[in-house]
Amino acid sequence: MKAKKFDLMGPVLVPALYAVFLLLAGISFLLGLTPTKPSLLGFLFILISTPFYFAGMKAANKVYGKKVALLTPKLLILLSVIFYTFVVQGVFHPGLPVSALFAGLAGLLTYYLLSKWKTSNKSLDRIPYYFLLSGIAFILLTIYDVGAIPLFEGAVRYALLDNVYWGLGYVLYFIGYMLLLPQIKTGKSLFALIFVSSLLFILMAFRTELLVILIAGIASGYYRQKLSLKSVLAGFASALALIIILGYIFMPLLSPVEILLYRAGTTYVVFDEIAQESGLGGIEHGALSFKGDPRFYVGKMLLGLHRNITSTLLGPPVIDFGLAGAAVFMFLLAFILQLSRKSIASKSLVLQPFYPILLAYSVVWIETGLDQLDLVFFVAFFTAYLLVTSKK
């Protein structure tokens, strides 16, 4: 893949779309679609933390390609295993020993596969299909376990959020999808892969996963010159239409456009309340990721209900560490995104597939807030990057 001079889908896309999101929220306030109007504190948090995003991009440009100590990738994997031991326990509750065993095996396997791929520097051939088929198998197990297809039985969607089959299914499928995208030879094949994958996640009635599929596919096609600028814009229009349609299916109380504005407005109101509660230092001080889905934590924190509530890109880091958390998060997000974007043109094949899916998650988080399970792709990329740049 080649990075373009005019980078329509570069890391700057994230703050640009964040600004669009804030504009939609502002329109919803003007139209009176939200029950309450926020203070300016949330906007102030965003305004202060955004320059750190661009600082992260600049820092990535300066350090890209520089050698790191040989033990650095191993240390990252060790820290990730410790982190995900508590994440798995917090989300799925299998018991701490089982969580540690699962996280440890996943970490070792990730490190082994990335190390092998780095040294062989060969295309993966059939490996993406193994991940895709494994993901589909677990998604089918999910449907069997909950007893219905979520699109036709909306109530079962919430049962998926702590369903281990669903967690494994979508992560495995996305790994296969990410690895397969660079192997696609024609625009028609790319469209077919995006269409089939989108259909699968439409049936699961989750906008987040659907949008990741669409945005990652569009970004991959754009950088590999399989999609024209016109096709990219049409893809974004399709993604917006799907958001509106799915929103209307599950909330047919307003017009489709009003639902889009309403969601933007209420999500921003949630973030503003989080900013007021968290202040400069935060509430959880790093423990949020170990308490299950962050969106359920927000529902309990603000409403006292076991309900999934989105809180924008900065919601979770502000809950943990307040304004300081927002600034650090924006810096790190931009740093990783810029490293992965520059790696598109890398000679190392192990680094090339990551950017489209990292960008896709970052864009989706603008509304939903980050999910600690989605962070595995960021950890995997940074591990691969450190492996490639480590001193021999």
Question: pLDDT tens, 183-223?
Answer: 888 888 888 898 899 888 888 877 888 889 989 998 988 88
| 392 residues of the chain, pLDDT tens digit each | 554 556 888 999 999 999 999 999 999 999 998 888 888 899 999 999 999 999 999 999 999 989 998 889 999 999 999 999 999 998 888 899 999 999 999 999 999 888 888 876 566 678 889 999 999 999 999 999 988 888 888 778 777 777 889 988 999 999 999 989 888 888 888 888 988 998 888 888 778 888 899 899 989 888 888 777 777 777 777 777 777 776 666 666 778 788 889 989 999 999 999 999 998 889 999 888 888 788 888 888 777 777 788 899 999 999 999 999 999 999 999 999 999 999 998 888 889 899 999 999 999 999 999 888 889 999 999 999 999 998 76
Give the integer Cα–Cα distance in Å for 38 and 129. 47
Residue the block writes with tokens 């456009």: 257
Confidence (pLDDT) at 117: 82
Q: What is the DSSP letter of 44?
A: H
Confidence (pLDDT) at 24: 94
Confidence (pLDDT) at 186: 82
pTM over 0.85: yes
Q: What is the DSSP letter of 345?
A: G
Confidence (pLDDT) at 126: 82
DSSP assignment of 104-164, as one string?
HHHHHHHHHHHHHHHHH----TTHHHHHHHHHHHHHHHHHHHHTS-TTT-GGGHHHHTT-H
From the CB of residue 382, how many other CB atoms can be counted at a distance below 10 Å? 21
Parse the chain into domains and list their residue ranges. 1-70+255-372
CA distances to 22, 112, 289, 329, 371 from 170, in Å: 29, 22, 19, 25, 13
Burial 260-286 (b: 16+ CB within 10 A, else e): bbbbbbbbbbbbbbbbeebeeebbbee
Confidence (pLDDT) at 60: 97
Q: What value, to the nearest 5°, has the Cα angle with vertex 210 and ends 204 and 215?
A: 170
**Residue 99 near residue 85 (C-beta atoms within 8 A):** yes
Give the integer Cα–Cα distance in Å for 262 and 254. 9
Confidence (pLDDT) at 152: 83
Confidence (pLDDT) at 45: 96
Confidence (pLDDT) at 156: 81
Using CA of residue 385, residue 386, residue 391, residue 392, what is the dihedral sign?
negative
**Residue 198 near residue 171 (C-beta atoms within 8 A):** no
Q: Which of 176, 184, 246 is nearest to 219 (CA)?
A: 184
Q: What value, to the nearest 5°, has the Cα angle with vertex 222 and ends 217 and 226?
A: 90
CA distances to 184, 209, 210, 256, 356 from 224, in Å: 9, 22, 21, 34, 11
- Report the Cα 40 to chain-centroid distance in Å: 27
